[in-house]
């Protein structure tokens, strides 16, 4: 179901709870919502009002992916940049890593399976932004 975006900073500042296989409907709502917004790169579940660590993003090939409980490991090549946010006005200066390994879970037949993905550039950047959202960090 397409959900309305949340801009309340108090809600967005709360760290998200770990997601479980029960949160399949949250993932589906994120997929429906990202498809409904033009040029939307990524949405975290708390941006649609669910404080769970589930995110959805669009990669360079325009494919949409879901991650449960994403985290970053082995980040390389830090750089400073400015980032905007779907649910916040203005831009914020942040440090991002150009290359990183992301650990996450994928829901397959009702079970969460651990996965690992090496990302660079744009995808690495938006995933770092999404992980910040899961931690309740506003960019
Ligand atoms: Zn954001």
Which domains does the chain carry?
9-133 (3.90.45.10)
20 C-alpha to ligand 1 centroid (Å): 22
Interacting residues of 108 by C-beta distance below 8 A, sequence separation 6+: none
pTM for this one?
A: 0.95
Q: Residues in the chain with pLDDT < 50?
A: none
Q: How far is the CA of 95 from the centre of ligand 1 (A)?
A: 15
Give the Å distance between the CA of 85 and the centre of ligand 1.
Answer: 4
Paired tokens of 81: 């940049």
Give CA angle at 117 (111, 122), nearest 5°.
125
CA of 87 to the centre of ligand 1 (A): 6
CA proximity to 70, closest of 127, 14, 124 = 127
79 CB-near residues (< 8 Å, 6+ apart): 95, 96, 97, 98
Rounded CA separation 122/59 (Å): 8
Identify the pLDDT of residue 5: 96
Distance CA 134, CA 129 (A): 9
Q: For residue 43, how far is its CA from the centre of ligand 1 (angstroms)?
A: 7
What is residue 139's predicted lDDT score, i.e. its pLDDT?
A: 84
pLDDT of the residue at 60? 86
CA of 47 to the centre of ligand 1 (A): 8
Distance CA 37, CA 101 (A): 28
């Amino acid at each position: 179901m397409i959900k309305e975006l949340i801009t309340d900073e108090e809600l967005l500042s709360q760290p998200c709870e770990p997601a479980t296989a029960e949160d399949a409907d949250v993932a589906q709502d994120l997929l429906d919502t990202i498809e409904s917004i033009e040029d939307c790169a990524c949405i975290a579940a708390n941006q649609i009002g669910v404080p769970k660590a589930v995110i959805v993003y669009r990669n360079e090939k325009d494919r949409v992916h879901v991650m449960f409980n994403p985290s970053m490991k082995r980040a390389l090549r830090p750089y400073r940049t400015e980032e905007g946010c779907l649910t916040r006005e203005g831009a914020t200066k942040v440090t991002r890593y150009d290359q990183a390994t992301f650990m996450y879970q994928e829901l397959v037949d009702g079970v969460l399976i651990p996965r690992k993905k090496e990302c660079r550039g744009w995808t690495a950047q938006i995933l770092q932004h999404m992980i910040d959202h899961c931690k309740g960090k506003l960019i």
